[in-house]
Amino acid sequence: MALFRTLNALRRDVVSLALQVAGLKKTKAKGGGGKPVLYRTTLHPAPHRRPASPQQSVLSPSTLNVLGVVRETADAVSIVLARADGGAIEFKAGMFYTVIVTIDGQEYRRAYSVSSAAQDNTTVTITVKRVANGKVSNWLNDQLTAGSTLRVLGPSGSFVLEPSTAQARKLLLVGGGSGITPLMSMVRTVLTQEPLSHIELLYGNRSKKDTIFYAALNALVKQHPDRFAITHVLEKPPKAWQGETGRLDRAMFAGLLDGILATSALGDLEVYTCGPSPVMQGVLDELVARGFPAERFHQEKFTPAAGAPDSARFERQTVSVHAQGQTWTETAQPGQTLLEAGLASGAPMLFSCTLGGCGRCRVKILEGEVDMPEPNCLLPEEKAQGYALSCIARPCCAVSFEIDPPQSH
């Protein structure tokens, strides 16, 4: 922990300057072969911790029963899941599950956040928003019914909030679109388990009809008027709208933050944000400009920051995978990840979320350079030791790596 505090202090000293650097930042680490491993990363002010996994199911798929499918909006559903034996389901607010479905004979994996409260549960609810041309999200919205089953991995994730009845926190949650999902889990968890804490939620959407949990959130405000406040921001509001109008960008956030700071000190806030990258970046930029403590800021990588990788930046590279005394070799195509190349080689690759959030796919780089976006769940010292996440790391040259044994997790 002393190391983490030191790293946090160093990051706080340099974050204002570093965040002015556009584009990519290079950090070198020694690989197992003694050569430097190059990570090209986008700086994030607070280090991610290894996500706690309360269940061993994070390591192997489990099958859960679908108790119900609740229509939230025209393009979003909440799916209530339970174990077949009715046993407890453990997770932390903010975590996600990786859903595994087979559509037209092909297996797909997608990560969806939990939206239910983290407490003594025999059920868990995930919420899925339809993505244009998204095979899995459309299938779950249109085809999944109560009485069926879903295969899942998890829970996983480092974007978590752990409640304590003795805490008296001032939480500022900022969400956009379906980024409300993990924040909803946090709201429900804190309101039921932290009676001394207060929550301010800033929630941006295109329109009222697109707002997931609109009625449920407003009902919670009525139930907890002294502990929960919400500001809706709509780009296309209905007539007689009394909330905020426009985009939840940096300027909008700055104005709303000024109102919150009329009754709260900036350093007393703890901020959690999830949503489209422009929303999260605007929040981060404004907080950094005001000198907000980095260790009190938490953000979820709701979608890959740059979408699909720019394959033009990469070339075909030879990838060698080592595990169990064997070696597999494959030529990675431009833009392919180490995971994709490893699977193509037939190597026994380990993976779960495929988003860099759970740590299941951690590998040890023995030789070569990789491009690995931030934020992700690796600890700073893991990167310094030459570890990478195969699901998001792409080879910049010939790369040799070793699969991390399951017991090391």
Alpha-carbon dihedral sign for residues 343, 349, 350, 356: negative
- Statement: residue 37 has pLDDT above 70: no
Quote the CA–CA distance of 114 and 185 in Å, as a whole number. 6
The residue with tokens 């949650």 is 173
Pairing between β-strand 76-82 and β-strand 62-73 as defined by DSSP bridges: antiparallel
Q: In this structure, what DSSP letter does residue 226 have?
A: T
* Burial of 310 (C-beta count, 10 Å sphere; 0-12/13-18/19+): exposed
Q: What angle do CA 225, 276, 236 make, to 5 degrees?
A: 65
Q: Which of 50-59, 160-169, 293-302 has the lowest mean pLDDT?
A: 50-59
The pLDDT-based confidence of 404 (bands split at 50, 70, 90) is: confident
- Statement: residue 110 has pLDDT above 50: yes
Quote the CA–CA distance of 101 and 96 in Å, as a whole number. 16
- Statement: residue 206 has pLDDT above 50: yes
The pLDDT-based confidence of 111 (bands split at 50, 70, 90) is: confident
Helix (H) or strand (E) holding 395: strand 394-395
Q: In this structure, what DSSP letter does residue 394 have?
A: E
- Statement: residue 357 has pLDDT above 90: no
The pLDDT-based confidence of 202 (bands split at 50, 70, 90) is: very high
Q: How far apart are the first and last CA of the chain?
A: 19
Q: Summarize the confidence of residues 74-88 as an average pLDDT.
A: 96
* Burial of 374 (C-beta count, 10 Å sphere; 0-12/13-18/19+): buried
Cis peptide before 309 (omega within 30 of 0): no
Q: Summarize the confidence of residues 30-44 as an average pLDDT.
A: 39
pLDDT at 55: 36
Helix (H) or strand (E) holding 329: strand 326-332
Are 87 and 63 in contact, with CB atoms under 8 Å apart?
Answer: no
Alpha helices in 162-260 (DSSP H): 180-193, 214-223, 250-260
% pLDDT > 90, the chain = 67
Residue 173 CA to chain centroid, in angstroms?
A: 15
Residue 202 three-state SS = strand
Domains within the chain, CATH numbers bracketed: 2-42+313-408 (3.10.20.30), 56-156 (2.40.30.10), 170-300 (3.40.50.80)
Q: What is the identity of the amino acid at 153? A: L
pLDDT at 21: 31
* Burial of 148 (C-beta count, 10 Å sphere; 0-12/13-18/19+): exposed
Token representation of residue 34: 């003694």
Q: In this structure, what DSSP letter does residue 204 have?
A: E
- Statement: residue 125 has pLDDT above 50: yes
Quote the CA–CA distance of 51 and 129 in Å, as a whole number. 24
Quote the CA–CA distance of 281 and 311 in Å, as a whole number. 24
Q: Summarize the confidence of residues 161-177 as an average pLDDT.
A: 95
* Sheet order of strands, 198-205 included: 244-245, 228-234, 198-205, 170-176, 269-274, 297-300
Tens digits of per-residue pLDDT, 216-255? 999 999 999 999 999 999 999 999 999 999 999 999 999 9
CA atoms within 13 A on the CB side of 378: 26
Pairing between β-strand 244-245 and β-strand 228-234 as defined by DSSP bridges: parallel
- Statement: residue 113 has pLDDT above 70: yes
CA atoms within 13 A on the CB side of 177: 16
Greater model confidence, 187 or 42: 187
Q: Summarize the confidence of residues 46-74 as an average pLDDT.
A: 66
Q: Summarize the confidence of residues 153-168 as an average pLDDT.
A: 88
Nearest alpha-carbon partner for 126 in 137, 363, 365:
137
- Statement: residue 41 has pLDDT above 50: no
Q: Summarize the confidence of residues 149-154 as an average pLDDT.
A: 91
Token representation of residue 106: 């092909």
- Statement: residue 107 has pLDDT above 60: yes
Q: What is the identity of the amino acid at 90? A: E
Token representation of residue 354: 């495929």
- Statement: residue 298 has pLDDT above 70: yes
Tens digits of per-residue pLDDT, 62-80? 999 999 999 999 999 999 9
